[in-house]
Amino acid sequence: MISLDSIQEAHNRIRPYIHRTPVLTNQTINDRTGAELFFKCENFQKIGAFKARGGLNAILQVAANQEGKAITTHSSGNHAQAVAFAARQVGLPAYIVMPRTAPQVKKEAVLGYGAEVIECEPTLEAREQGVRDVIARTGAVLVHPFDDERVIAGQATATIELIEDAGTPRPFDTIMAPVGGGGLLSGTSLTTHYLSPETRVIAAEPEGAADAILSFRSGCVEKAPYIKTIADGLMTTLSERTLAIIREHVADILTVSDEEITAAMRLVWERMKLIIEPSSAVPLAAILKNKDQFAGQKIGIIVTGGNVDLGKLPF
């Protein structure tokens, strides 16, 4: 189990490399929801997303323990940038396996951090084979995007800061995070359990990638009935590890449609002047959809990132 100590050690380990991102509020959105919302702005984090935390916590330890001569992962999203960024901090080469269909802007971001991009076919099999090839060739260590205790402990540090900066004197009634593979959600729920046990953790998930809610109910890692959502960071299924933590420490999972996600994203852009990616808008969409459930509550929201393609906006 991931202890409070290991999360606090992660925070101390990564602190020199990350931003302490601000916690922002907005009167209009409070009025519109009937709740008091505190947005932990990880869109301002290094690489534009909370994933920098988990990548750093894992890779700083790989380097300190001399576990390998290089780092590898497969990702088409923010984890690719997080690994490339973290590997550069410790001076290790990084080999990122990316589907050839990934946006050019994301490949360029990874290259910009000095990593090597290995293109593969856009299937999970091809991605995993690509990583095996890299390991055989270079002796690299795999840093999985979420099925890794060090990554989870790193993601858990955002909630330390949220609670320190806005969780007093009145504690949060609820802390919310979106759920994809569950690395952020399980970390968020662990930190909340340790530091603010009176607070409920509630997750939010797109209807078009509704696997976590099924797994949460059945206790087995389930696949989504279908995958079709604007929230491109949330398409992954849980792992056994993240599901176990989530079943123990998360109170509920709510689902929202792409229309509701887009409306919530637009509300944050227009009223808070923050660029957030669709995945980041999923918790607010769930609050707007379930106002009665959240009325009068003090709610913390992890805003996961701000990496969007400005040429392909949904509005």
Residues near a copy of itself (CB under 8 A) are 22, 24, 43-44, 48, 266, 269-270, 272-276, 306, 310-311, 313, 315
Question: Closest approach of Cβ 268 to a copy of itself, in Å?
Answer: 9
Minimum CB separation from a copy of itself for residue 191, in Å? 24
Residue nearer to a copy of itself on the CB measure, 130 or 306:
306
Query: How far, in Å, CA of 176 to CA of 167, rounded?
Result: 13
User: Which residue, 44 or 294, has its beta carbon nearer to a copy of itself?
Assistant: 44
Taking the CA atoms of 228, 229, 234 and 238 in sequence, report the sign of the dihedral they define. Answer: negative
Judged by beta carbon, residue 252 or residue 269, the one nearer a copy of itself is 269
Pick between residue 68 and residue 306 the one whose CB is nearest to a copy of itself.
Answer: 306
Given the complex with a copy of itself, which of 135 and 269 has the nearer CB atom?
269
Least CB distance to a copy of itself at residue 26 (A):
9
- Closest contact distance (angstroms) between CB of 279 and a copy of itself is 14
Closest CA to 7 of 131, 164, 172: 164
CB contact burial 183-206 (16+ within 10 A = b; e otherwise): bbbbbbbbbbbbbbeebbbbbbbb
Smallest distance from a copy of itself to CB 100, Å: 23
Helix, coil or strand: residue 185: helix
Which pair of structure tokens corresponds to residue 124? 């999970």
* Cα–Cα distance, 107 to 49 (Å, whole number): 16
Residue 204 Cβ vs a copy of itself, minimum distance, rounded to whole Å? 20
197 or 311: whose CB is closer to a copy of itself? 311
| Omega of the bond leading into 169 within 30 degrees of 0 (cis) | yes
- CA 274 to chain centroid, in Å, comes to 17
CB atoms within 10 A of CB 252: 15
State the minimum distance, in angstroms, from the CB of residue 63 to a copy of itself: 21
Residues forming beta bridges with residue 99, ordered by sequence position: 120
Q: Which is nearer to a copy of itself, 189 or 307 (CB)?
A: 307
3-state secondary structure of 181: coil
The nearer residue to a copy of itself, 40 or 241, going by C-beta atoms, is: 40
DSSP state, residue 49: B
Amino acid at position 250, single letter: V
- The neighbouring-strand residues paired with 94 are 71
Q: How far is the CB of 311 from a copy of itself (least distance, A)?
A: 7
> Are 60 and 89 a contacting pair, CB within 8 Å?
yes
Instruction: Quote the tokens at residue 65.
Output: 């323990």
* Residue 34 backbone dihedrals phi, psi, to 5 degrees: 70, 15
